[in-house]
Chains A and B, each alone.
Chain A
Amino acid sequence: MTTTTTTAVDPFVHPALFYRGARQYLDGTVPFIREGLAAGEPVAVAVPPQNVELLRAELGEAASEVRFLDMTRAGRNPGRIIPGVLRAFADLHPAGRVRIIGEPIWAGRSATEYPACVQHEALINLAFSGRAVTILCPYDLDGLDPSVIAEAEMTHPVVMDGYGQRTSRVYAPERIIQDYNQPLPDPVDAAALGFAGGDLGRVRDFVVGHAASMGLCGERLEDLRLIASELAANSLDYGGGSGTVRIWAENGQVAVDVTDAGHILDPLAGRRPADPRQRGSRGLLVTNLLSDLVRIHTNQDGTTVRVYFST
């Protein structure tokens, strides 16, 4: 199985690989890696750890030329993958084509995580449009629900499987972005605090006090304190000058959300690496980089940004 490397329309190539079992996985990925290395193209592989091991064993010595990442850690929060994994690698190699295998959706992703995963897959197309990058995304036909596979055809312009490669007839990433921008479910037993200008210290104290009582501690507690403060500051700057912060325990995690009257119009907000010299806001980017999961609902009536931290 080989992969198209360029198109006349857009140098960005984003195929999905639908595979059953290790043999099809290797048949779909190893030639992609070897072709890249033979062409002198930088290659990164960000996949679940069992597939990292599978590929390392198959590649042998060539594995040392590939940048491997455990996607279940680096991409635990799907909102982190574009800035923290894909662009972090691609931007290191601005000249020539870069190849990446990214497997952000694996069996075991929760129903809470999945909307962020499929939104991420759709947003990749916007984030890399015009760039000489190929991102191959494996999907496990045996482990994933058929609805996940159906939506992968909507987020990837090209799909590959055991029968070959074809153009997706249902490619529609904007529809996925729009359809998954839904109100987030109301939490059970959340503590809430309204805030306005000058209250950021109160917001931090409120979140730290509750999160600590739920078992979050050390550096992760400090990370959550920072994120709560950044999200509340965004409400003051862009969300009408006030907001509400809520915190609750959910499935062994600490969940925090901030709701305000703002409307995030840029679908890639918080997913672009920031130029160190530019003043712009980095609050949402840091939120994506540090959280275990970020979910967002935004429209003309207001915005909720919800983050999850594992205890």
Chain B
Amino acid sequence: MSIVDFRMVTVTIWPEVRPRGPSPAAGPGSSTSGVRGPSPHDLHIDLTGPPVRLKVSGDIDRTTRRLWEEALGGLVTQGDDMHIDLAGLTFVDVRGTWLLTQAARGLPRGKKVFLHHAPYCLRSVLALIGPDSFPIEVET
């Protein structure tokens, strides 16, 4: 397990399921890495073994979105049902929720995204941007 600290992001990654694409360290904002300590608005994403593949806590917004997009992209590449534990998610913006719908669209036919402990902030926006258009199951 490696831990990478960025300006607004902390990510814990199991090496065998490292997301595809360029490292977030190469992205905008990473040059200020280490300029401040942890914030309640940080995003933490743990990539874990099955059945839950992602555990998300903190805030997903313009600042932390890239890590979220890359973590979802990694799961889409695996092509299996996508179980996400959102018990620790404290905020997600509209684009962050939309990215989840696009990940669901990217899965092979018959596969779904399963959202566990999805907070109101995600459920409400999901309901506004096309609830019937995507293979997403929201655990209630």
Contact = CB atoms under 8 A, between A and B. Distances in A.
Contact of B129 (A201, A223, A233, A276): A276
B61 A282 contact: no
A201 B61 contact: yes
Contact of B120 (A219, A233, A274, A282): A219
Given A222-B121, A286-B128, A289-B128, A236 B62 contact: yes
Contacts of B62: 200, 233, 236-237
Interface in A196-234: 197-198, 200-201, 204, 219, 222-223, 225-226, 229-230, 233
A204 B93 CA distance: 11
A283 interface: yes
B98 A282 contact: yes
Contacts of B133: 276
B40 A223 contact: no
Contacts of B129: 274, 276, 282, 286
B44 interface: no
Interface in B9-62: 29, 39-41, 59, 61-62
Q: How large is the interface on B (under 10, 10 to 19, 20 to 34, 35 or more residues)?
A: 20 to 34
Interface in A116-174: none
A200 B101 contact: no
A262 to B, nearest CB: 15
B125 A226 contact: yes
Given A230-B93, A282-B95, A289-B128, A222 B61 contact: no
Contacts of B7: 198
B94 interface: yes
Interface in B62-80: 62-63
Contacts of B8: 198
Contact of B61 (A200, A219, A277, A290): A200
A201 B124 contact: no
Interface in B92-140: 93-95, 98, 101-102, 105, 120-121, 124-125, 128-130, 133-134
A198 B59 CA distance: 12
Contacts of A225: 91, 121
B124 A219 contact: yes
A201 B94 contact: no
Contacts of B125: 226, 286
A110 B59 CA distance: 37
B130 A282 contact: no
Nearest to B65: A233
A200 B95 CA distance: 14
Given A198-B7, A198-B63, A201-B59, A223 B93 contact: no
Contact of B94 (A200, A276, A286): A286
Contact of A222 (B93, B102, B120): B120
A233 B133 CA distance: 26
A277 B94 CA distance: 14
Per CB-CB distance, the 10 closest pairs between chain A and chain B, nearest first, are A201-B41, A276-B130, A276-B133, A282-B94, A233-B62, A200-B61, A286-B94, A222-B121, A222-B120, A289-B128
Interface of B: 7-8, 29, 39-41, 59, 61-63, 91, 93-95, 98, 101-102, 105, 120-121, 124-125, 128-130, 133-134
17 contacts: A198-B29, A198-B63, A200-B61, A200-B63, A201-B61, A226-B93, A229-B91, A230-B94, A233-B61, A236-B62, A277-B102, A277-B105, A279-B98, A282-B129, A286-B94, A286-B129, A290-B128
